Amino acid sequence: MSHRIQPHINGINRRSMLRSSLAGSLLLPGITECLAVDDAGPLAAKETHFPAKAKNVIFLFMTGGVSHIDTFDPKPALHRDHGKEIKADHPEIKDRPGYERIYLKRPQWEFSPHGECGTEVSTLFPHVASCVDDLAVIRSMHTSHSNHYNATLGMHTGSFAFSRPSIGSWVTYGMGTVNQNLPGFVVIAPQQTYAGTQVYSNDFLPAVNQGTLVVPGADPVANVKPRIPPKKQRQELLALQELNKLHLDTREHKGTLSARMKSFEIAYGMQQAVPDAFDFSKETKATLASYAIQSDSTMGFGWQCLAARRLIERGVRFVELIDTGSSGNWDAHGDMMTHVALSKNVDQPIAALIKDLKQRGMLEDTLVVWTTEFGRTPFNNTADAKGREHHPWAFTSWLAGAGVKSGITYGETDEHGLRAEVDKVHVHDFHATVLHLLGFDHEKLTYRHAGRDYRLTDVEGSVVKGILS
Top pLDDT among 257 and 404 is at: 404
Contact in structure between 426 and 144 (CB atoms under 8 Å): yes
Stretch among 208-222, 375-389, 401-415 having the lowest mean pLDDT: 208-222
Alpha-helical runs (H) found in 199-284: 230-249, 255-277
Q: 83's torsion region: left (phi>0), alpha (psi -120 to 50) or beta?
A: left
Per-residue pLDDT at 14 exceeds 50: no
Q: Which of 137-146, 216-225, 317-326 has the highest mean pLDDT?
A: 137-146
Taken in order of first residue, the domains within the chain and their CATH numbers are: 1-30+221-277 (no CATH), 43-220+282-467 (3.40.720.10)
Confidence of residue 218 (pLDDT cuts 50, 70, 90): confident
Per-residue pLDDT at 236 exceeds 90: no
36-76 pLDDT per residue, tens: 334 557 788 999 999 999 999 999 999 999 999 999 999 99
pLDDT at 18: 39
CA dihedral angle for residue 72, residue 214, residue 192, residue 61, rounded to 10 degrees: 10
Per-residue pLDDT at 223 exceeds 80: no
Per-residue pLDDT at 228 exceeds 60: yes
Distance CA 431, CA 168 (A): 11
β-pair partners for 9:
12
Task: Give the DSSP H/E element, type plus range, for residue 349.
Answer: helix 338-359
Confidence of residue 234 (pLDDT cuts 50, 70, 90): confident
What does each C-alpha distance from 336 to 67, 142, 240, 378 come to in angstroms?
Answer: 9, 21, 56, 12
User: Quick one: CA dihedral 143, 144, 148, 154, positive or negative?
Assistant: negative
Per-residue pLDDT at 9 exceeds 60: no
Confidence of residue 305 (pLDDT cuts 50, 70, 90): very high
- Kindly state the DSSP code that residue 294 receives in the 8-state scheme: P
Stretch among 136-140, 260-264, 332-336 having the lowest mean pLDDT: 260-264
User: Quick one: CA dihedral 337, 341, 346, 352, positive or negative?
Assistant: positive
* Geometric angle at alpha carbon 203, from 201 and 208, rounded to 5°: 70
Pick from 464, 359, 377, 447: which is nearest to 165 by CA?
447
Confidence of residue 243 (pLDDT cuts 50, 70, 90): confident
130-139 pLDDT per residue, tens: 999 999 999 9
56-61 and 366-371: which strand pairing? parallel
171-208 pLDDT per residue, tens: 999 999 988 889 999 999 999 999 999 999 999 998 88
How far does CA 387 lie from the centroid of its chain? 27
Alpha-helical runs (H) found in 107-229: 126-129, 148-157, 167-175
Pick from 70, 127, 66, 170: which is nearest to 397 by CA?
66
pLDDT at 292: 96
Contact in structure between 61 and 155 (CB atoms under 8 Å): yes
